[in-house]
Every structure is written in C-alpha cells, then in structure tokens.
Amino acid sequence: MSDRRGLRWVNGDREGRRRTDLRKVTVPGEEEEEEEEEEEEEEEEEEEEEEEEEEEEEEEEEEEEEEEEEEEEEEEEEEEKKKKKKKKKKKKKKKKKKKKKKKKKKKKKKKKKKEEKKKKKKKKKKKKRRRRRRRRRGGGGGGGGGGGGEEEEEEEEERRRRREEEEEEEEEGGGGGGGGGGGGEEEEEKKKKKKKNPVYWGGFLHCLSYQKIFQNGHARDYLCSQPRQNIFNSVTDLQITHTTC
C-alpha cells in the first residue's frame, strides 16, 4: 500500500504504525543500480551539454561565416562602385580633353581665318595705294609736260631772276658755269648723298635745285637752270617729279 505522497506502509496496518519513506529505504542491489542510473544521467546531461555547446559553436561559426560573406560582398560592391566611378571619371576626363582639343582647334582655325582676312585687307589696301600713286604720278607728269600757257611770261621772269641768283651762289661755292655744265657736278654730289624727302613750298621746283634748298636752308623756291620747268600741285607730285626728272 502507498499513499498519495508515494510512501508505503511497512510492517503492519495503517493504524499505530510509522510510515517509512521508500526513497530512504534501501534494498540490497538497488544502490548500485541507482548509482549507475545517476552516472548514466550525468553522462547524458554532459553529452547534451556538449552537444548544445557544439551547436552553439556551429551557430557562432555560421554567423561568423555569414558576416564574412557579407563583408566580402560589401567590399566587392565598393570595389565595383569605385571601378565604375573611376571608369566614369576617366570617360568624363576623356570627353573634357576631347572638348578642349576641339575648342583649341576651332580657336586656331578662327585665328588663321582672321589673319588671312587681315592679310587680304592689307594686300587690297596696298594695291589701292599703288593704284592711287600711279594715277598721281601720271597726273603730275602730264602737268609738268604741259607747262602752262597763260603763266609763260611770269615763269620766264622768275626763271631769269632765279638763274641770276643761282649763278651768284655757284660762283661763291665754286660750282663753275651756269646751265648743263654746273648741273653735272651737282648731280654727282646728289647721287653720293642720300636723298631726303623734298619739302613742298608751293612754287616751282626742279631736281637740280633740290640740294640747294637743304644746303642753304632757305625756305623759298628755287628754279633749275635747265629750260624745262615742273609745276607741282601737291607734295606727292613734287616727290614723283624729283625721282623721274
């Protein structure tokens, strides 16, 4: 018999007899069995603990592996991103360089075009100037050849007066004889010396009297001893006739 608490009545009935705890009561051979059972239980517990530990370790390793994989993936992504960025940058740089080159080429072309235009303009101007000069030269020659019908008397009087002055000057300077003979020496001197641009005083001027003006420093007109006289309308005409006569 046993009660609710798992105690058994030993040696007699329920009344007046003490109860004995079966857990404390030992039966021969039961102790060893219990010890073995306890050991087995302990072993099982230890095994379970070891298994749990192993499982935990495995879980930790898995987690670590996962973390490592994640890190690797992140690194790869970053590298790819960097690579992409680098590529983009390189492409951008290349594009910029190309654009710069194109701009430079365009600028160069524009400059060249401008220079050519300038050159052309200069050439045109030069041509125009030459044409104008030719016209003037032609006009000056014509005027010189014509002489002047109404002013012949005045010219002769002035010629005489100036011829006398020139003769006096030539005698003082040791030039020798009027006319063509005295003119020859002066022309030689004129060739030796570098010609200066003649100054226009608005009267008659000839190549022989050209040096006298600068030598004597008189701001007045000189007439040549030669019979032909040139009438000058402008400085340009005067310069042209001096080179031609």
What is the predicted pLDDT for the residue at 219?
Answer: 39
Over residues 70-99, the mean pLDDT reads 87
For residue 188, the model assigns a pLDDT of 65
Residue 228's alpha-carbon distances to 146, 166, 210, 211, 241, in angstroms, are 10, 16, 15, 18, 12
**Which has the minimum average pLDDT: 164-173, 179-188, 199-208?**
199-208
What is the per-residue pLDDT for 186? 67
Q: Higher confidence at residue 219 or residue 46?
A: 46
Cα 74 from Cα 217, distance rounded (Å):
101
Contact partners, residue 68, CB within 8 Å, separation at least 6: none
Q: Which two tokens stand for residue 46?
A: 């230890």
DSSP label at residue 49 = H
- pLDDT band at residue 173 using 50, 70 and 90 as cut-offs: low
Give the least confident one: 2-6, 100-104, 206-210. Answer: 206-210
Q: Which of 235, 237, 175, 176 is nearest to 211 (CA)?
A: 175
Q: Which residue has the higher pLDDT, 160 or 210?
A: 160
Is the per-residue pLDDT at 83 higher than 80? yes
Q: What is the pLDDT of residue 169?
A: 73
User: Do the beta carbons of residue 220 and residue 204 sit within 8 Å?
Assistant: no
What residues form DSSP beta bridges with 2?
8
Closest CA relative to residue 199, chosen from 221, 229, 231: 221
State which H helix or E strand residue 87 sits in: helix 30-146
* Residue 6 DSSP one-character state: S
Q: Distance between CA atoms of 50 and 238, rounded to whole angstroms?
A: 130
Q: Which two tokens stand for residue 105?
A: 């080429």
**Does pLDDT of 125 surpass 70?**
yes
More confident residue, 26 or 214: 26
Report the pLDDT averaged over residues 167-175. Answer: 65
pTM above 0.95, yes or no: no
The two three-digit tokens of residue 234, written as one number: 């402008």
State how far Cα 79 lies from the chain centre: 37
Q: Which residues contact 34 (CB under 8 A, 6 or more apart)?
A: none
Which band of pLDDT confidence, cut at 50, 70 and 90, is reported for residue 235? very low
What percent of the chain is predicted at pLDDT more than 90?
Answer: 0
Contact 190, 206 (CB under 8 A): no
Residue 222 has pLDDT above 50, yes or no: no
pLDDT over 80 at 185, yes or no = no
**Residue 226: pLDDT over 80:** no
C-beta separation of 240 from 200 below 8 A: no
pLDDT digits (tens, 9 = 90+) for 129-148: 888 877 777 654 444 444 44
Does the pLDDT at position 98 exceed 60? yes
Phi-psi category of residue 137: left, alpha or beta, with phi > 0 → left and psi -120 to 50 → alpha: alpha
